[in-house]
Amino acid sequence: MAQLVAAMASVHVPLLTSAPHLADQAMWEKINRGFATLRDTLVSSGADTVVVISDEHFNALDPRRYPSFGVVTAEIGVGPVENWLGIPRNSIKVNFEPALAEAILSEGVHQGFDLTRVGEAGLEHGFLTCLHFLTPRWDLSYVWLIQNCVLPPLPSVRRCYEFGRMVGTAIRRWDSSRRVALLGTGGLSHAVGTPDMGRIDPQFDAKFLDLLCANSPALCNITDAEMDAVGNGTHEVRNWVAVAGAVEGTKGEVVMYEPMMAVGFGMVQFQVA
Amino acid sequence: MSAQALNIMLVDLFRSEEAFTRYQRDPDTVAAQYNLTPEEQERLKAKDMGWLYQRGVHPYILAQFALSVGYDLRQYASQLREATGQGEVMH
């Protein structure tokens, strides 16, 4: 059976590639150290497949058709779709791992998740930004799982934890010798496209990171109202919660946190044996 | 029409260079395909982000449209703050 060998989460701030000048040298040192830590974990785990849990910002999905939970089942992914990401449009091609995508789809439906098969999906910053730093040669295989964090009604935080738990089970039950890493992306507190863009709430972030790293059941009690109050982008912490669900019972550690670049800029990794 | 027509149109524009070029050449014809109201058409042509936001365009869609047409996020946020009287300075 496949092994889940690493679990981590990071912000997917598109400004890192679209406007890198917005971080000064000291900020870049922190950012690069953070990604280097996650990259070291990934490399030392021997992961050959990365399952990314992220939302999708209407570059592939549509405001008329957006599932609560989706799995990209294509064999190949090409991106970025965006023309503003600072990475040439459609210059990145990745190999997906459709067998694992299908295994997650089957496990999900079997467990009662109305998980939607998303065939092809152009790659966008939710999927790409962290991997641009973590696997810059794009030489692993990937799975992209999409959680709706952007188009209400959103699945509850508890449901996202349960979704992650199911994903962990699916990976461990997958009949394969693969070593699989899990990467949740997005958040932490921030606002996207609203007048309060630039707003960050370090208090919310600290509370969230405490609960996440303790892998506490109280994590599931975080409400939409709490997240709305600190910026619409904060809903993306669901992707971190799902990672915690996949490694239920395992503690995490904060790799870095700094309020900067208009976001509570953080990274965590879980102590997966 | 609802803001959903604008949402769908903007998504089509920022996803496809070809669609955006077509819109730049003939905005009225393209907008008519989405059943935008005359005011929506004019505000979109003027890239009046504050008005479009207040009209109800999804903030993720509006911000990405702004980026795709070369807006700086500070400029975008400033237009929204001016239109709504809400918000704070970006960090």
In-domain check, residue B71: yes
HSE-up (13 A, CA, CB side) for residue A107: 21
Annotate A141-161 with b (16+ C-beta within 10 A) or e (fewer).
bbbbbbbbbbbeebbbbebbb
Residue A182 pairs with which residues in a beta bridge? A7, A51
pTM: 0.96
Range A204-215 average pLDDT: 98
Chain A residues 152-191 with CB within 8 Å of chain B: none
In-domain check, residue B75: yes
* Residue B28: domain span: 3-84
DSSP string, A247-269: TTT--EEEEEEEEETTEEEEEEE
Question: How sure is the predictor about B88, in pLDDT bands with cuts at 50, 70 and 90?
Answer: low
Q: Which residue has the tokens 């799995």?
A: A71
- Cα angle B67, B71, B72 (rounded to 5 degrees) comes to 100
Residues of A in contact with B51 (CB under 8 A): none
The pLDDT tens digits of the residues spanning B20-77 come to 999 989 999 999 999 999 999 999 999 999 999 999 999 999 999 999 998 988 899 9
Chain B interface, best mutation among A16, A17, A83, by max B CB count within 10 A: A83
In-domain check, residue B31: yes
Q: How many domains does chain B have?
A: 1
Provide the CATH number for the domain around residue B22.
Answer: 1.10.700.10
In-domain check, residue B91: no
Residues 6+ apart with CB under 8 A from A85: A14, A17, A18, A124, A125, A128
In-domain check, residue B90: no
Average pLDDT, chain A: 97
Domains, chain A, with CATH or none: 3-270 (3.40.830.10)
8 Å CB contact of A192 and B81: no
In-domain check, residue B89: no
- The pLDDT, as a whole number, for residue B1 is 46
8 Å CB contact of B58 and A194: no
In this prediction, what percent of chain A has a pLDDT beyond 70? 100
In-domain check, residue B78: yes
Residues of A in contact with B59 (CB under 8 A): 192-194, 232
Residues of A in contact with B68 (CB under 8 A): 82-84
ipTM rounded to 2 decimals: 0.93
The pLDDT tens digits of the residues spanning A229-258 come to 999 999 999 999 999 999 999 999 999 999
In-domain check, residue B9: yes
